[in-house]
Each structure stands twice: as C-alpha cells, then as structure tokens.
Structure 1
Amino acid sequence: MARSHFTLAALSTAAVPGADIVSTRPIGTGTGGRYDSAVVTLRDRSELIVRVPTSQDAETEQSRDLVALNALTAGFRGRLPFAVPEIEGQTPVANTRAIVYGYIPGDPAVLAELDAADPVAESIGRAIASIHSLPTSLVTDSGLTVQTAADAARVARITKDRAAATGAVPSDLLARWSTALEDSALWQFQPTVVHGSLSPESFLIAGDRVTGVLGWSQLQVGDPAADLFWLSSAPSEQLATRIFGSYNLGRSTPVDRQLRKRARLYAELEIAKWLLHGTEKHDETIVADAKTMLAGLSVSVESDLLNPLSTDTGQIMAVEEVEEMLRRTPRTDSSSSRDSARVSGISED
C-alpha cells in the first residue's frame, strides 16, 4: 500500500532535524509507482521532496543515485546550466530508507509536446552537452563505471545476440544491426561522462529552459550517443535536428561524425531489450508488443534506404538504380521534382 504524503512528511522531519514543515502534497514522479513521493513546504517557503523506494530494484537504483549525487560536488555542479538534486537527509523506514532532496521546480518534459521552434529544445541540447563536457575524473575518482568504445560495441553486440536467440527478431534487422556492429568506423569515438539513463522525463522544464536533470543512477564514462537515443522518437526531424545542433555547439570538444548513427542503433536495440525483458519475465503481452514494434521497425528501415546505420555506403548505384529506388519511395510532389533534378544532375556528371 502506498504511503500517504502525511506519512512521508513525518519521515522528512526525522531525516532533516529541525525541518519546520507547514504543508505537504503528493507528487507524481513518473516512475511507475516505484517510489512513494511527496513535497513538503517549510516555514521559510523552501520545499523538499521525500522519496521511499517500493521495490528492491528501486532501492538499488536509489543507492546508485546517491553515489552519483555525492560525486557531483559543487565544483562539477557549477559547470552545469541546471540544478542537480541536493541530498538533505535520510532516515530508515521498514526495510528501506527515505531520502529527502531539495526540490527543483519544473515539470518533466513530454517529448510529444516539444516543438522545434520552442527555445526549450536548445536548452535540452545544451544541458546534454554540459554533462558530456564534464571532466572524466568525476567518474574515475568516484569508482563509477568506465566504458571504452570497445566495451560499448561489445555490450550492444551481446544485446543483439541475445535478442537473435529468441527467434523473434526479423532477419533484416539482425543483418542491419550486425553490419553496424562490425563497422569499426562507427565505434571510433572518445568516451565522455554520460548521464546513462536520459529520457525526456529526466529533464525538468520551467518556462523555456531546463531547470534540473533527475535520475543519475547510471552516471559513468561511456558513449555519448547513449544519452541521445531517445531523440529517434522525436515527433519531428526538425526537433531532433535542433536539439542535436544545440548539443554540437555546446560540447567543449568536437562531436564525432557517427554519433547520430550510434544513437539510432541504440534506439533500435531498446526494442530488443523490451523483447528480452518480456521473455525473461515470461510476459506474453510484452513479448507480443515487442514483436509488433520490431515488425514496424523492419518496415520503417526498409523504406529508409538513405539512412543506413553503417558508415559503409556500399557500391555506388547506377542512375537507373537511383531512379528505380525513387519510384519505390513514397514522396510528395515537391520532393519528387527535387529528386528528379538530382538524378538529372547525376546523369550529366
């Protein structure tokens, strides 16, 4: 049974001695019921948020989050254009613990509601870039995970192989993923500090800017593309491009040219992970959902021949092959005229 916000407020007074609480309210954290959460208001009008994990998995995640937040000292936080949760106190409760954090104003971002013309898109790009520009000593000095480019490729390959073993992944997707995983040029990148579990809901938005970033349990050194895979689900290519553009400008070092391809690969492998999750849980509903998503992805990538995951473009097509491909690809009238012009240009060359 979920703890009431009054119970959570009482826990706050135990976790933060001297806290003079005048009111409390429940709050949804977008965590699917994995935490009981509430906001408490103090007499000085400042606010705190208290969270209690409701499962062992959530407790493990919370413990990792605490390690990461402690590693993010004031010096590192000062490099970020947004707030990171501050730990105010903790107290035992039942067989777990309640953690109290400073409250960061803002609402979790909703990807479907973001617009390319909205300044918040650039703010999100800058926020991600600032994380990736942090010194790697933040991670190494705290004993957190350090993943090389080869490690990233190996982990992705394991996911692909495990998904293939289920027999539920279309053969064209397996071939697509295998080609990308075997393309050494795709995996030539410099690892950076990464958040490790970014999603739209990780960003707190107030007005036209990111006010905070939550959920630091997977903080590590790794592939920066892993923090960008969710942009493959952006409601428009313009939105994704604007966020990527702002990200590129915000990075302290040049961005590798294959980052967006790896981000797309990670996005596709997320469906494979969903399939594996359903298989491991023996949940046929999840498995069926994953199969449907994989079938849709198969159709999608088949009609998107101009955007392969591999850096190897293969043999150059003859003019008649280009024309045939364009005839088979749905398009608007305006794009048809542009494509015809391109083909004519190829012929003249």
Structure 2
Amino acid sequence: MARSHLTLAALATSAVPGLEVSGARSYTLGGAGEFDSALLSGRDGGTSVIRVPTSQAAETEQSADLVALRALTTGIRSRLPFDVPTYLGQAPVGGTRAIVYDFLPGHHIDVDDIPPGDGLAGSIGHAIAAIHMLPTNFVGEAGLPVLSAAECHTSTTALIESAASTGLLPSALRDRWRDASADQSLWQFQPTVVNGALTADSFLVEDETVLAVLGWSALRVGDPARDLHWLLAMNPEATEGALGAYASTRQVATDRQFTQRAMLYAELEVARWLLHGREVRDQSIVDDAVQMLDGLVDRVHSNAVTPLSTATGPILAIDDVEAMLDRTPGDRSSDAYGHAGGMKPVEEDQSDRNSAAE
C-alpha cells in the first residue's frame, strides 16, 4: 500500500532536523514506480523531495545512489554545468529508509522528442562530456568501482556468456557479439568517470538546456561509450548534434571503435532485459525478450551498415535501435529522482557496491 502524503511529510520532518512542512503532494512521473514519493513545500519557502523504496531492488538502487551523491562533493559538482540532487537527510521506516533530497527544477523529455540540431542535443552531449572529464580519483576514494578497459571488456564478455547460457540467445547474435568481444581493437580506450545508467529520463531540461542529471547509482570509472549508447535511439540529426558536442567538449574523436562499442551496448540492452526476466522469474519478460532477440536478428541481417567488428555482420541502423528500445515493455517512466522502469540495468559488479551502500 502506498504511503500517504501526510505519512511522507511526517517522515521528512524526522529525517531533516528543523524542516517544517507546509504542504505535500504526489511527485511521480506517471506509472507505478518502485518508490513512494512526495514533493514537500517547506514553511521557509524551500522545496524538497522524499522517496521511500517499495522493493529490495529499489532499496539497493537508492543506497547506491546515496553513496554516489556523497562522493559528488561540492568541488566535484562545481566542475559540472548542471545540478545534481543534494542529500538532506534520512529516517528509518518499515525495514528500509526514507531519503530526502532538495528539489531540482526542470522537466523530462522523451528520447524521440529531442529535436535535431545542436540545441538540446548539444546540451546533452556537453553534459555527458563534463561527467567524463571529471578526475577519476574521487570515485575510488568513495569505494565505488574503478574498471580498467580490460575489466570493462571482461564484464561485457560475461554478460554475453550469461545470455548465451540461458539457451535463449539466437546463435547469430551469440556469434556476432562474441566476435565483437574478441576484436581487441574495439577495446583500446581510456576509462573515464561515467554515470553508468544514463537514459533520457536522467535529464531535467528547460528549453534547450540540461538543468540537472538524476540517478547516479551506477557511478564508476569505466567505458565512456556505455553512457552514449542510448543517444543512438534519438533522431539521427539529434544523435549527430549530441555526439558532435560531446567530441568538441572533450576534444576527442568519437571514432569507429567508440561508436561500435556504443552500438554493441545498445544491442546488449536486450540481453540485459532477458537476464532481468530470468532473475525476477517473470516469464512474460523472458518471452518478450526472446521476441525482441528474434526481431534483432531480423533487423541486423536486413541492414547493410557499419559492422561491430571486422568479423561481424551489420549493426542496427539508428532508427532500428530506437524501435528496439521503444519495444521494451513495462513502466518506462520513473518516479521522482529515479531511473526508468521496465528494462533494468544489469550491474557489471554489483558486489562491489554492497559494502559501500551503507
């Protein structure tokens, strides 16, 4: 049963000393999220958000997000051209905990509504580049994962083999992804700080500007291409604008290998969806993932575009990636300061977070 606004307001006053709540209302982005959330108005004129996880998965995500937000110190945040939520306090409730954050203005935009050109797409590219340009040392000091290029390669290979072990992965995709994993030229890159779970829902925007980035539970040092794969689901001209802004900000080339890894990660989202279905024992998710994999095989072999590696066939065209991601079932909206529902990311190294979550 969802907690009432009055209950959430009372929790917030116990979580944040001195907070006096004058009003509370629902603050979700539609659908049945994994958090009870409310927008709180303070008597001092301030506004905050309270979230209480309603599942173990949500509790794990919120704990990891809290570790990351604490790692993002004032000095680190000053390097970013956007806002990040600030932790205000917490209170125990029903075996979990309520977390209160400051409220950040802005609204979400669907990935297919990001207009072509350098406006909002360019702002998104600049924002991602700023994350990737952060100094890496603070991540390790916070006890968060620091992965080398070889470890990123290994975790990707493990994901492919986990999907193959289900017996539900078409051999054409299994061989294609294994060939890409075996192409050593694809995995020569410099790891950077990455958000690790970016989607369109991660961004709060106004007009053509990114105001804030939400959802930091997968913060780590890793493959920068992991943060860019979802850009390939945008309008092709918007994708070009975002990648162009990203490249100019970082002063690096989004070369063939970079784009190929991003496309590989996009395809592997279907494998993650399959494994998520197996993990939560939801046959409807598994069946849907199998259908998506079959469709992916058809799309891959019907498009003569850039290969994932010298040994593989063509990868998805950008509009096919968009169609694939749009096909992901479940509630793809998120509640306040949360991730998109539906397809859940499979953490490369969740065990590394368990000890840090408290």
Deviations 1:90-118 (A, max 9, x none): 11112111111110011223112211147
What CA distance in whole angstroms lies between the structure 1 residues aligned with 2:182 and 2:30?
A: 37
The residue that corresponds to 1:262 in the other structure is 261
The residue that corresponds to 2:301 in the other structure is 302
The residue that corresponds to 2:165 in the other structure is 165
What CA distance in whole angstroms lies between the structure 2 residues aligned with 1:285 and 1:271?
A: 14
Percent of matched pairs sharing the same residue: 51
Which stretch of the first structure deviates more once superposed, 246-255 or 117-126? 246-255
1:252: Cα distance to partner?
A: 5.5
Which stretch of the first structure deviates more once superposed, 252-261 or 164-173? 252-261
Are the counterparts in 1 of residues 118 and 242 from structure 2 also a CA contact under 8 Å?
A: no
What CA distance in whole angstroms lies between the structure 1 residues aligned with 2:117 and 2:253?
A: 25
The residue that corresponds to 1:98 in the other structure is 98
Unaligned ranges ≥5, structure 1: 315-349
How many positions carry a matched residue from both structures?
313
Residue 175 in 1 paired to residue 183 in 2?
no
The residue that corresponds to 2:151 in the other structure is 151
SS state of the match for residue 84, structure 1?
coil
Are the counterparts in 2 of residues 149 and 187 from structure 1 also a CA contact under 8 Å?
A: yes
Deviations 1:37-94 (A, max 9, x none): 1111123322100111111221121111111111111110001011011111111112
Counterpart amino acid of residue 92 in structure 2: P
What CA distance in whole angstroms lies between the structure 1 residues aligned with 2:207 and 2:5?
A: 27
What CA distance in whole angstroms lies between the structure 1 residues aligned with 2:80 and 2:30?
A: 23
- Over 3 Å counting, the alpha-carbon distance change for 1:71 and 1:261 in structure 2 is same
Greater RCO (Cα-Cα under 8 Å, separation 6 or more): 2
SS state of the match for residue 22, structure 2?
strand
The residue that corresponds to 1:290 in the other structure is 289
Are the counterparts in 2 of residues 41 and 48 from structure 1 also a CA contact under 8 Å?
A: yes
SS state of the match for residue 64, structure 2?
helix
Q: CA RMSD in A?
A: 1.9
The residue that corresponds to 2:46 in the other structure is 46
Q: So what's the TM-score if we normalise by structure 2? A: 0.83
Are the counterparts in 2 of residues 133 and 252 from structure 1 also a CA contact under 8 Å?
A: no
What CA distance in whole angstroms lies between the structure 2 residues aligned with 1:10 and 1:289?
A: 41
The residue that corresponds to 1:225 in the other structure is 225
Are the counterparts in 2 of residues 109 and 202 from structure 1 also a CA contact under 8 Å?
A: no
What CA distance in whole angstroms lies between the structure 2 residues aligned with 1:224 and 1:31?
A: 31
- Over 3 Å counting, the alpha-carbon distance change for 1:292 and 1:232 in structure 2 is farther
The residue that corresponds to 1:324 in the other structure is none
Unaligned ranges ≥5, structure 2: 314-358
What CA distance in whole angstroms lies between the structure 1 residues aligned with 2:127 and 2:30?
A: 20
The residue that corresponds to 1:345 in the other structure is none
Higher-Rg member (1/2): 1
| Within-5 A mapping of 1:69-148 | 69-117=69-117, 119-148=119-148
1:311: Cα distance to partner?
A: 4.9
SS state of the match for residue 17, structure 2?
coil
